[in-house]
Structure 1
Amino acid sequence: MAAGRRVCVFPSPRELGPALARLVAEEAAAATAGGGRFTLGLSGGSLVQILARDLPAAAAAAAPSRWLLALCDERLVPAEHPESSGGAYAAQLLPRLPGPGPALLRVAPALPPAAAAADYEQQLRQAFPGQDVPVFDLLLLGLGPDGHTCSLFPGHPALQETEKLVVAVTDSPKPPPQRVTLTLPVLNAARAVAVVATGQAKGPVLKRILEGEEDEPLPAARVRPRSGRLLWLLDEAAAQGLSIPLERQDGS
């Protein structure tokens, strides 16, 4: 197993969710212990439902008012659209967290893609003053069956970006086509990254990422925090084809 990487396997998403919530709460408590803030990057998809279900109870003692939430990527659709990650978190998670709740940086979906990316990058720079690249306490990422994470897709030029914090994607192979996404320099600057993958359909790509040594690594395989921790949270269905050492968890 790669140095600094842990691969934890849960019986099902039902057990994985509380463990993910505890991870968030523990990282938040550590970051805010001295009166500081906790910075958390959120991805969309199934993570919204998992966090909305399991995080509120775990977060009660972790000072949510001192959290800064940001989106790891966003589809350029109105907030009320079902594909809007920011809209989903605002509707499903934030109202359930103990008040006063955290701040959430939002992408401006009405702007053209390049302008939306520039605007979001400016928000990040203002939120992380003095840092050339924002250092998040924790990033929560998902995984697509093609190996994409955030809106970084295989073979896309965005994978080569080294200067910008946020880039526009106008040709996403997965609808909707217009998006903005954090870049690899931001992902790899984080203090901790957790990648969540569940379901049998994720098995083949997980094997490529966690066991393979490919000349052109898939986007999720390029997530390698320089000085932070990398945690993979899987269910049994997703992990069943892996032959690497795994940490079996019961979720309790």
Structure 2
Amino acid sequence: MTNERRVLVHPDMDSLIAAVAARFLTKLTDLLDEYQEVNIALTGGTAGGTGVQQAVAESPMRGAIDWTRVHFWWGDERFLPKGDPDRNETQAHEALLDRIPVPAENIHPFPASDEIPDIEQAASAYADELRAHADPALRLTVPRFDITFLGVGPDGHIASLFPEHDVRADDERLVIADRNAPKPPPERLSLTLPVINSSQRIWMVLSGAEKASALGLALAGASPIEVPAAGAQGRRRTVFFVDGEAAEQVPQNLIASSY
């Protein structure tokens, strides 16, 4: 099994979003030829989240996908009431999920604060949902995440794993409940780093000059405790999809010419 890290640079955010959306639909077609069901973990944010999701929804290629065989999960979520506009789930429904024929039972959101008011119990409930869809063929206690999308913050955080803030490569938990996240809202749910790294492919999407330092540090081998993005490693492949501004501190020898 290969385990590659690549950086693909696009001129600007618009071309970045369009390229990632097209690549996602092409790869999803291939995955559905290989597997009966495919699991995708979505992220929030502007580029890799709603930007890519909306581009997928608007692509004519979406009609070739059998969405009844695709399951959607999330890497993290803001612990807010159902339907809150700041929830990643809400944004994904508006950008993509309500615009494709995916069955409701194939959508696996984190519990909302008005569904399970205690955040620790909410974390436990999502962990149970992950176990219920575990892939025994890979000896995993979670689903086989075929593609996990991640955004990267200017501080290098991924999902809701923040620097110096409960990021452990040996974490035995599946889901963490964070009551004091450094970015609002303070209460968040997140997959742990080992669960993220159980993914077959991790696609990190970065746009803007404010992400350049975090990307440079991640590629330079910084500690995942200090730069969580540095610890993200898919089982088969890890790709950083970036625009020109975010790539300012990437050494030329790390930039791939193609996927």
Q: Calculate the TM-score normalised by the size of structure 2.
A: 0.87
Per the TM alignment, residue 34 of structure 1 is displaced from its structure 2 partner at its CA by 4.8
Is contact 1:171-1:178 (8 Å) kept? yes
Q: Secondary structure at the match of 1:153?
A: coil
Q: Quick check: 1:45 aligned with 2:45?
A: yes
Cross-structure match for 1:234: 242
Write out per-residue CA displacement over residues 158-196 of structure 1, whole angstroms, 9 at most, x where no aligned residue. 435521111111110000000110011111111111001
Q: Which residue pairs with 2:193 in the alignment? A: 184
Where does residue 22 of structure 2 map in the other structure? 22
Could you say if the C-alpha distance between residues 237 and 74 of structure 1 is closer, same or farther in structure 2, counting changes exceeding 3 Å? same
CA distance change for structure 1 residues 213 and 175 in 2, over 3 Å: closer, same or farther? closer
Secondary structure of the 2:51 match is: helix
Distance 1:244 1:125, change over 3 A: same
AA matched with 1:37: E
Maintained 8 Å contact 1:39/1:68: yes
3-state SS in 1 of match to 2:251: coil
2:186 and 2:224 mapped to 1: Cα distance?
27
Q: Which runs of 4+ in 1 moved over 6 A?
A: none
Q: Is the 8 A contact 2:212 2:247 kept in 1?
A: yes
Q: Which residue of structure 1 lines up, in the alignment, with residue 122 of structure 2?
A: 116
Contact 1:94 1:101 survives alignment (8 Å): no
Task: Name the count of aligned residue pairs.
Answer: 245
Distance in 1 of aligned mates of 2:129 and 2:151: 23
- Report the counterpart of residue 83 of structure 1 in structure 2: 86
**Deviations, residues 84-141 of structure 1 (Å, cap 9, x unaligned):** 00111122211222x2457210111222111111011111111225332432000000
* Correspondence 1:203 to 2:212: yes
| Matched position secondary structure for 2:215 | helix
Q: CA RMSD in A?
A: 2.0
**Equivalent residue number for residue 171 of structure 2:** 162
CA contact (8 A) 1:134 1:186 kept: no
Residues of 2 paired with 1:75 and 1:6: CA distance? 29
Could you list the per-position Cα deviations for residues 61-97 of structure 1 after superposition, in whole angstroms to 9, with x for gaps in the alignment? Answer: 1211210000100000123322100111122211222
Q: Please give the residue correspondences for 1:26-175 in structure 2 after superposition, counting only pairs within 5 Å.
A: 26-34=26-34, 36-46=36-46, 47-56=48-57, 57=59, 58-97=61-100, 99-101=101-103, 103-110=106-113, 111=116, 112-128=118-134, 130=136, 131-159=140-168, 162-175=171-184
Q: In the alignment, residue 170 of structure 1 is paired with which amino acid? A: R
Amino-acid identity (%): 29
Give the aligned partner of residue 221 of structure 1.
230
Q: By how many angstroms is 1:20 displaced?
A: 1.1
Amino acid of the structure 1 residue aligned with 2:23: L
Deviates more, 1:102-111 or 1:179-188: 102-111
| Partner SS, residue 245 of structure 2 | helix
Distance 2:5 2:35 in 1: 29
Q: Cα distance 1:213–1:123, how it changes in 2: closer, same or farther (>3 A)?
A: closer
The TM-score normalised by the length of structure 1 is 0.89
Q: 1:175 aligns to what SS in structure 2?
A: coil
SS of match in other structure, 1:79? coil
1:239 partner SS:
coil
Structure 1 SS opposite 2:189: strand
Conserved 8 A contact 1:152-1:181: yes
Whole-Å separation in 2 of the counterparts to 1:100 and 1:148: 30
Q: Out of 237, 251, 257, which is 1:243 matched to? A: 251
Structure 1 stretch displaced more, 114-123 or 161-170:
161-170
More displaced 10-residue stretch of structure 1: 21-30 or 167-176: 21-30
